[in-house]
């Protein structure tokens, strides 16, 4: 119950940030947006219709059609996200910040919408719109959700050319691109790290050093050389970005010829990253 209350509060906060950003930066600087939000902005530009009301009217039939594919909890979160975004779009309707620098306006718009929508997504919600359409097409037609959402954004921005000039459309694309990257960053969380795969004849010694000196878990996996057919352990561990240099030095000191592969890990959950590592004994990781 506490988690659900927290999720709802964060969805409200994310919707508020998004609603504020759309009014304060997008609408104030003639920047469109993708999806249903883009349609509400376009209708605001063309007919001065209230974006909050338009957003609600568009989403009501989508929610009625899409409730079967969302599930009960997702439907509740989506309803909350849709209603709160519509509310904040109306409440913040008087807030405007016209900027002379269109690029700066696009950056601000992308960051504010990205942060807001990223928070909504991170806590299990959506703001309705194209997300529902994409899920329906995925279920009944097998279409990719990501490609459907991209196609919808592209279509709406293209239609926005009826009102915007090419310069405005280009800055809108900048805002949408920045927003997408910020959404990914917010969803991935602050516990990004590095995954290290080490192939060496000294893996047991390297693993021991990592566990004792760095207090990080390490796992030895069974491996077999494709050319030689020789059985060899493969060492796998996850460390923070700041610890990566230390791992490289440690491996080099023990085996300068070790084969080391480093991959980005966008989110890490568990001991040493999101839990207090002192509460439980160190495990393999």
- Three-state secondary structure call for residue 48: coil
Q: What is the CATH number of the domain that holds 250?
A: 3.30.70.120
Note whether residue 126 is domain-resident: yes
- Together in a domain, 106 and 51: yes
The set of residues, in sequence order, having a beta carbon less than 8 Å from that of 128 and lying 6+ positions away, is 36, 59, 62, 63, 78, 81, 82, 85
Mind listing the pLDDT tens digit for each residue in 129-187? 887 888 778 778 888 766 787 788 889 988 888 888 888 889 999 999 999 889 888 87
- The pTM for the full model equals 0.77
Note whether residue 174 is domain-resident: yes
DSSP letter at 23?
A: I
DSSP letter at 29?
A: G
pLDDT of residue 274: 58
Note whether residue 109 is domain-resident: yes
pLDDT of residue 279: 46
- Together in a domain, 156 and 134: yes
- Together in a domain, 75 and 150: yes
Buried b (16+ CB within 10 A) or exposed e, 34-73: bbbbbbbbbbbbeeeebbbebbbebbeebbeebeebbeee
pLDDT of residue 220: 95
DSSP letter at 197?
A: E
Domain endpoint, select from 164, 188, 212: 188
- Together in a domain, 244 and 158: no
Note whether residue 57 is domain-resident: yes
Note whether residue 111 is domain-resident: yes
Q: Look at the block and give the residue holding tokens 């999806």.
A: 35
Note whether residue 282 is domain-resident: no
- Together in a domain, 54 and 148: yes
Q: Which of the four pLDDT bands, split at 50, 70 and 90, describes residue 277?
A: very low
Mind listing the pLDDT tens digit for each residue in 58-91? 999 999 887 877 778 888 999 999 999 999 999 9
CA distance readout (Å), 145 to 131, 170, 207: 8, 25, 41
- Together in a domain, 116 and 222: no
Q: Which of the four pLDDT bands, split at 50, 70 and 90, describes residue 190?
A: low
Q: What is the mean pLDDT of residues 41-55?
A: 94
- Together in a domain, 160 and 74: yes
- Together in a domain, 232 and 107: no
Q: Which of the four pLDDT bands, split at 50, 70 and 90, describes residue 283?
A: very low
Note whether residue 204 is domain-resident: yes
Higher pLDDT: 124 or 16? It is 16
Q: How many domains does the chain have?
A: 2
Mind listing the pLDDT tens digit for each residue in 5-40? 999 999 999 999 999 999 999 999 999 998 999 999
Note whether residue 285 is domain-resident: no
- Together in a domain, 146 and 184: yes
- Together in a domain, 123 and 208: no
Full domain range(s) for residue 136:
2-188
pLDDT of residue 229: 87
- Together in a domain, 92 and 231: no
Report the distance separating Cα 93 and Cα 88, nearest Å: 8
- Together in a domain, 107 and 239: no
Mind listing the pLDDT tens digit for each residue in 149-165? 778 888 998 888 888 88
Q: What is the mean pLDDT of residues 97-121?
A: 93
């Amino acid at each position: 119950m506490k988690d659900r209350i927290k999720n709802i509060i964060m969805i409200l906060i994310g919707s508020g940030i998004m609603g504020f950003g759309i009014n304060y930066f997008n609408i104030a600087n003639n920047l469109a947006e993708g999806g249903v939000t883009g349609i509400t902005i376009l209708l605001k530009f063309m007919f001065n219709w209230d974006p909050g009301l338009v957003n609600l009217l568009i989403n009501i039939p989508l929610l009625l059609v899409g409730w079967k594919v969302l599930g009960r909890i997702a439907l509740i979160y989506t309803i909350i996200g849709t209603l709160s975004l519509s509310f904040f779009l109306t409440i913040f309707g008087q807030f405007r910040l016209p900027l002379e620098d269109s690029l700066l306006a696009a950056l601000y718009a992308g960051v504010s919408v990205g942060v807001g929508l990223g928070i909504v997504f991170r806590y299990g919600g959506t703001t309705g719109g194209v997300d529902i359409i994409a899920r329906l097409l995925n279920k009944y037609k097998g279409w990719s959700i990501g490609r459907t959402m991209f196609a919808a954004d592209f279509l709406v921005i293209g239609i926005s050319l009826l009102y915007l000039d090419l310069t405005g459309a280009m800055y809108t694309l900048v805002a949408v691109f920045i927003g997408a990257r910020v959404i990914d960053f917010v969803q991935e969380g602050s516990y990004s790290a590095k995954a290290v795969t080490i192939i060496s004849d000294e893996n047991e010694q390297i693993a021991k050093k990592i566990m004792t000196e760095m207090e990080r878990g390490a796992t030895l996996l069974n491996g077999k050389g494709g050319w030689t057919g020789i059985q060899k352990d493969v060492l796998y561990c996850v460390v923070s970005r700041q610890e990566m240099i230390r791992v490289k030095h440690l491996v080099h000191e023990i085996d300068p010829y070790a084969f080391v592969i480093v991959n980005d890990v966008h989110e890490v959950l568990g001991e040493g990253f999101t839990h207090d590592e002192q509460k439980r004994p160190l495990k393999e990781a």
